């Protein structure tokens, strides 16, 4: 992992820096590249625009590590409202949540109940509930709560991170469920004992896991989603799918709002199922720093807004 990436990821956890930068107009302007707006209405409008262009969406309110029960309940109720709005506007949208945003650190039982309530509401809307994957210390509990919610209903999916050394084993353990899995490279600051430090190894692991997911999908098992902007990797995945005879409808490609927008539309025009993950909300600092860390050249975008 590069020094710039490590520094940016460390900075993402600094409350002092968050307080300083969140107030600055130039920083707020730079963030807008990745957010349609801070309120739900802007996110729903963006989802409707993507739908008109033939792209689906996944909605997520920014925030993590809530500190008390009232905040966690408010997050659950917010997402129940999001799903109702998605149904009312007939949007091809799903929702993705972070367990620490739903109060995992405050009350694990209540977090599980919130997940269950959201999965039930998503099922009423004919939609699917995604669970994000956070830092490595949350992987065990995330997979456990995923399994428990999945035992109640199957419209729930979980994210796996290719940079973690443990993920190939986690995937093997999950495959018998025929699960919806969103495979990503991984966005957090992890030590080399836990995550591959070299990009080459992360990309290699991603391709290997993607192939495994495609093989399952070819047999009609599971719903693989490839969450990446890596065009070379996507090309390889599509070639592999053709070799296995995996129908294009059996897998999806998800990208973040504001990144490779032209590629998103081109893939959809070529028959791929594409969804755009739309983040919104005011708690964008840590999340935005992770976007900068993914591509330190983005820091120039911030500097340009400053001058």
Ligand X SMILES: Cc1cc2nc3c(=O)[nH]c(=O)nc-3n(C[C@H](O)[C@H](O)[C@H](O)COP(=O)(O)OP(=O)(O)OC[C@H]3O[C@@H](n4cnc5c(N)ncnc54)[C@H](O)[C@@H]3O)c2cc1C
Per-residue string for binding with ligand X, 107-146, x by CB under 6 A? Answer: -------------------------xx-------------
Contact 209, 160 (CB under 8 A): yes
Give the number of other CB atoms < 10 A from CB of residue 258: 16
Which of these ranges, 11-19, 164-172, 207-215, 225-233, lies near ligand X under the rule CB under 6 A? 225-233
- Min dist CB 10 to ligand X, Å, is 16
> What is the rounded CA–CA span in Å between residue 124 and residue 34?
30
> What is the rounded CA–CA span in Å between residue 188 and residue 182?
16
Per-residue string for binding with ligand X, 167-196, x by CB under 6 A? Answer: -----------------xxxxx--------
Position 256 contacts ligand X (CB under 6 A)? yes
Instruction: Give the CA dihedral 29, 32, 38, 44, nearest 10 degrees.
Output: 150
HSE (side-chain half, CA atoms, 13 Å) at 38: 9
Which of these ranges, 7-15, 49-57, 107-115, 251-259, lies near ligand X under the rule CB under 6 A? 251-259
- Min dist CB 218 to ligand X, Å, is 23
Position 264 contacts ligand X (CB under 6 A)? no
Contact 82, 110 (CB under 8 A): no
Per-residue string for binding with ligand X, 227-246, x by CB under 6 A? Answer: xxxx----------------
> What is the rounded CA–CA span in Å between residue 24 and residue 97?
28
Shorter beta-carbon distance to ligand X: residue 241 or 276: 276
HSE (side-chain half, CA atoms, 13 Å) at 240: 20
Which residues are at the interface with ligand X (CB under 6 A)?
132-133, 159, 161, 184-188, 227-230, 254-256, 259, 277, 291, 294-295, 298
């Amino acid at each position: 992992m590069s020094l710039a990436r490590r520094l940016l990821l460390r900075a993402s956890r600094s409350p002092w820096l968050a307080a300083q930068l969140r107030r600055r107009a130039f920083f707020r302007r730079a963030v807008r590249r990745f957010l349609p707006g801070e309120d739900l209405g802007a996110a729903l409008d963006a989802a409707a625009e993507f739908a008109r262009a033939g792209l689906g969406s996944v909605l997520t309110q920014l925030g993590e590590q809530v500190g008390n029960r009232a905040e966690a309940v408010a997050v659950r109720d917010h997402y129940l409202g999001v799903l109702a709005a998605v149904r009312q506007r007939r949007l091809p949208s799903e929702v993705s949540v972070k367990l620490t945003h739903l109060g995992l650190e405050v009350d694990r039982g209540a977090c599980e109940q919130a997940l269950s309530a959201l999965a039930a509401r998503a099922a009423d809307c004919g939609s699917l509930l995604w669970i994000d994957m956070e830092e490595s210390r949350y992987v065990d509990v995330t997979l456990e709560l995923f399994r428990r919610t999945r035992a109640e209903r199957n419209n729930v999916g979980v994210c796996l991170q290719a940079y973690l050394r443990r993920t190939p084993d986690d995937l093997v353990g999950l495959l018998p469920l025929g699960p919806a899995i969103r495979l990503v490279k991984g966005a957090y600051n992890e030590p080399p004992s836990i995550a591959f430090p070299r990009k080459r190894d992360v990309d290699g692991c991603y391709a290997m896991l993607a192939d495994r997911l495609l093989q399952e999908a070819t047999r009609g098992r599971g719903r693989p989603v490839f969450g990446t902007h890596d065009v070379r990797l996507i090309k390889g995945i599509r070639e592999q799918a053709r070799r296995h005879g995996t129908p294009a409808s059996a897998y999806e490609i998800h990208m973040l709002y504001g990144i490779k927008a032209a590629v998103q539309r081109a893939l959809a025009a070529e028959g791929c199922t594409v969804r755009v993950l739309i983040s919104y909300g005011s708690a964008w600092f840590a999340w935005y720093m992770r976007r900068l860390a993914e591509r330190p050249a983005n820091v120039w975008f911030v500097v340009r807004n400053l001058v």
